[in-house]
Every structure is written in structure tokens, then in C-alpha cells.
Structure 1
Amino acid sequence: MPAAPLETFRNAEAVFWDFDGVIKESVRAKADAYVALFDRHPEALKARVRDHHNAHGGMSRYEKIPLYLGWAGLPVTEQSVGDMLDRFAGRVVDEVIAADWVPGVEPLLRGNRNRRPFFLVTGTPTDEIRAILDALSLADAFRDVRGAPEAKGAGVATCLAAHGLTPGRCTFIGDAGSDLEAAETHGLSFILRRTPENGPLQQAHDGPQTEDFSGWSERI
């Protein structure tokens, strides 16, 4: 039987967090933003974009947008990708900030200051996620923040080395296959945050899983 998620969290020397779908309920906001980039295209393409994003929540926009442009039969150039990235960022930042918190996570993050180290490893561009954290007054909750274009696995490796952490005593909380892969590659335990979008991962992951973080801050 897998360890209980709260027990895994309590026993961790350090905790690595994903953002979308783990801290904020922002996966759908980003799906809507990707679909809006192709609002003049057929419904079948928009459904394909949404389904792909939901199935690959941890994949960077730097990888997704060229892929989606190709599906749409549009040129995949530095200019076209850059224009789409700008349009996406302009739409999504305010929606992420306004998105609901995953239940229980806000007091867990804010109440941890000066205790066990927390690290944020996300597919969101570094400058953008730092601006979001500043807007949420959450920047000082994390010892380090690693974002795109750095891959999640590389971000985990950087934090482990820079802070002298023992991988087997750390855990990663995520909701996507890229989060699980980053954890397994570097020897971290993994807590899956269950969402409506990650049903297949729930079936595949035999480790700890949680619906949310309700009550955790009072129990650690």
C-alpha cells in the first residue's frame, strides 16, 4: 500500500512544487488561452489542442505552441511562435492570478516560512511565474523558482545541487507526467494531486495521491 500523502509530506526534508493544478486551479485557464489562439480554426483543431494541453499539463508553451501551429497548418517560424507566445502571455497571466487556490494550499505555503525549504519547478516562463508570485505576495514562500525554458528535471537537479539536498529525502508534488518524470529521474518521492484532467496518471501512479491539501497546515 502506498504511503499516505500527508505522511510523505511530513517526512520530506524539502518539497518541490508544480504550480498550475497544484497551487492554483489554473489548468483550465491555460487550456482556454491556447484554444483562443486558434479561434478562427475548426472545432476539431480546438478540441485537439485542448485535449493535448490537458494530457500534457507540465509541457512548456515553448514546445506546445510550435506543435499547435503545425497542426493548424500555419508557418512555424521564430516570428510566428513569438507572436503566439506574446498573445498567450497577455491573456493568461491575469487569469492565473485570479484563479482559485487549490483547497488548503495557501495556508500551507504561507505558514511554512523559515521552516522546511520549498522549491517551485514549473513549465511557466521564469519571469512570468515570478511576476505571478509577486502579485500573490508568495515569492518568499520558495527558496528557489525554476521555470521555462529550463526543463523540470533540470530545475530539480539545480535545486538539489545548489542546496545540498538528499534526493531520497525530498518529495515533488505535481499533477502531470512531466512532474512524475522529473521526480523519478532524480530519486524524489512523488505526491500526485488528482485533477479531472489526469485520470490516466492516477491509474498509472502507485504512490501517494491527494485530492487537495485541506487541513494539512493544521496537521504538520
Structure 2
Amino acid sequence: MINFTGIKTIFWDFDGVIMDSMPIRDQGFLKVLKDYPEKQVNKLIAYHKANGGLSRYVKFRYFFEEIRKEDVSDEEIQELAMRFSLIMLENLKKPEFLISQTVNFIKHTYENYKMFIVSGSDQKELRQICKAVEIEKFFKGIYGSPTAKDELVKHLIDTENIESATSILIGDSVNDFEAAKVNGIKFYGFNNPALTTVSKNYISKFS
């Protein structure tokens, strides 16, 4: 097993690290935005894939303001996010989507570290999924959007008596790297070889 010498706290991204949920989330955006031009929706999907650590609230706003060049209200964003969440809850409460090597590592080491999930996914939805697939007990806390990931990490460092020097964030996107960097903690990339260009720390396998 991997031994993170001197590490006391691990912040985990969720999508693409603990659960192979990205294809389902792709379908979620396609379904919610099915009445809009395919070319525009495909641009949103490309943005979504390149920015896995960002919340759906940011991505829906990007779709309207940057791709469609039109205003969108907070209420409209909330409505889209709610429809998206219903699709996720219907499809992701299944253990077969868990990434086995990651979950096995967590199960065998959670007593050695203080572990948190910090995700771009909706917090309420995320907690329901983790409970359904029976992994919530391994974490000191499970946190998600609409609060941005870098703010989640900062809040936990400030309120949970966590030392930045003995903490790491494990993620699969450049947004995860940036959340770690702004909070002065080490970043370990996983499940995305492109991250080897931004960080020397990369996990090829957990076991």
C-alpha cells in the first residue's frame, strides 16, 4: 500500500477519484440541456471534462454567459442544478461505479489519517450517494458545492485544526491542483496522466 510519510490529513476529490461517475455526469448535462443546440452543448461538455473540479453551478453559468452569450438568473441556475441532481441520484447510488483500488486503500487506511471529501458535486447529493454505497463512515466529513473547493479546503484547515504541511489533496483535475496550491498543501494527481505536467506527485496505482 502507499505510505504517505508524515501525512495526517487527506482531502479527496470524488468524481474520477473515488467514483467513476464522469460518464453519468456527461449524460446529466446532455439530458438537462437537451433543448439547446447540440453544438453549444458539446462545448459545455468539453468545458465540463476539462474542469472536473468545478461545480455544476459554475458550469451551467458558463454555458449561458460564455457559450450562449446571454444572461441567466440564479433561480434558473438552481432549477437546472436541481434537475441535474435528480438524474445523478437516480443513477449513481450504485457500488459498481466505485473505483475499487481507491476505495480499498481508503478502507484499509482511514484510521491512519483524517480524511475528508471535498468535491465539485452538490453537497447534499454527494452525502446521499456516499451513504447509499456505504463509504460515508470512512470520512470525517463530506463537503461539496455550491461552496468552491478551494474555500472548502480553507474552511476545514481553519476549523478542524489541520496543519497544511501535513495535508494533501488527491484529485484528477487541474482545478484540484489549484485548490491545493492556493491553500499551501501538496497535490497528488490520480487517474489523469496529464496532471504529471503540473505536479511531480502522481499516483499510478494505490496498491
Shift of residue 63 of structure 1?
1.1
- The one-letter amino acid paired with 1:183 is A
Gaps of 5+ in 1: 216-220
Matched, 1:143 2:140: yes
Q: Provide the C-alpha distance between the structure 2 equivalents of 1:145 and 1:53, rounded to a whole number of angstroms.
A: 22
Match for 2:174 among 174, 177, 181? 177
Q: Provide the C-alpha distance between the structure 1 equivalents of 2:156 and 2:75, rounded to a whole number of angstroms.
A: 33
* Match runs of 1:10-25 below 5 Å: 10-25=5-20
**What SS is found at the alignment partner of 1:97?**
coil
Match for 1:35 among 30, 35, 43? 30
Given the two structures, how large is their TM-score scaled by the length of structure 2?
A: 0.88
The answer for the alignment partner of 1:69 in structure 2 is: 64
Q: Determine if contact 1:41/1:72 at 8 Å carries over to the other structure.
A: no
User: Where has structure 1 moved over 3 Å in runs of 4 or more?
Assistant: 72-75
The answer for the alignment partner of 2:89 in structure 1 is: 93
Given the two structures, how large is their TM-score scaled by the length of structure 1?
A: 0.83
State the identity as a percent: 23
| Residue deviations 1:178-220 (CA, integer Å, cap 9, x gap) | 211111112211110133xx73x33x3232112342x2xxxxx
Gaps of 5+ in 2: none
* Match runs of 1:46-125 below 5 Å: 46-70=41-65, 71-72=67-68, 76-98=72-94, 100-125=97-122
Q: Provide the C-alpha distance between the structure 1 equivalents of 2:7 and 2:149, rounded to a whole number of angstroms.
A: 19
Q: Determine if contact 1:183/1:189 at 8 Å carries over to the other structure.
A: yes
| Residue deviations 1:4-63 (CA, integer Å, cap 9, x gap) | x934x3441111100001100111211221122222333311220110000010111111
| Residue deviations 1:152-186 (CA, integer Å, cap 9, x gap) | 11211222222222211111100112211111112
Q: Provide the C-alpha distance between the structure 1 equivalents of 2:25 and 2:205, rounded to a whole number of angstroms.
A: 20
Shift in alpha-carbon separation, 1:165–1:82, aligned structure 2, 3 A: closer
- The one-letter amino acid paired with 1:53 is H
Shift of residue 82 of structure 1?
2.3
**What SS is found at the alignment partner of 1:45?**
helix
Shift in alpha-carbon separation, 1:211–1:40, aligned structure 2, 3 A: farther
Q: Provide the C-alpha distance between the structure 2 equivalents of 1:80 and 1:158, rounded to a whole number of angstroms.
A: 28
Matched, 1:163 2:160: yes
Q: Determine if contact 2:118/2:152 at 8 Å carries over to the other structure.
A: yes
Q: Determine if contact 1:32/1:50 at 8 Å carries over to the other structure.
A: no
Q: Provide the C-alpha distance between the structure 1 equivalents of 2:74 and 2:160, rounded to a whole number of angstroms.
A: 36
Q: Provide the C-alpha distance between the structure 1 equivalents of 2:169 and 2:116, rounded to a whole number of angstroms.
A: 9
* Match runs of 1:177-196 below 5 Å: 177-195=174-192
Q: Provide the C-alpha distance between the structure 1 equivalents of 2:2 and 2:175, rounded to a whole number of angstroms.
A: 22
Q: What is the RMSD of the two structures over their aligned residues, measured on CA atoms?
A: 2.2
Q: Provide the C-alpha distance between the structure 2 equivalents of 1:170 and 1:107, rounded to a whole number of angstroms.
A: 20
Q: Determine if contact 1:35/1:49 at 8 Å carries over to the other structure.
A: no
Q: Provide the C-alpha distance between the structure 2 equivalents of 1:120 and 1:46, rounded to a whole number of angstroms.
A: 29
Task: Tell me how many residue pairs correspond in the alignment.
Answer: 205
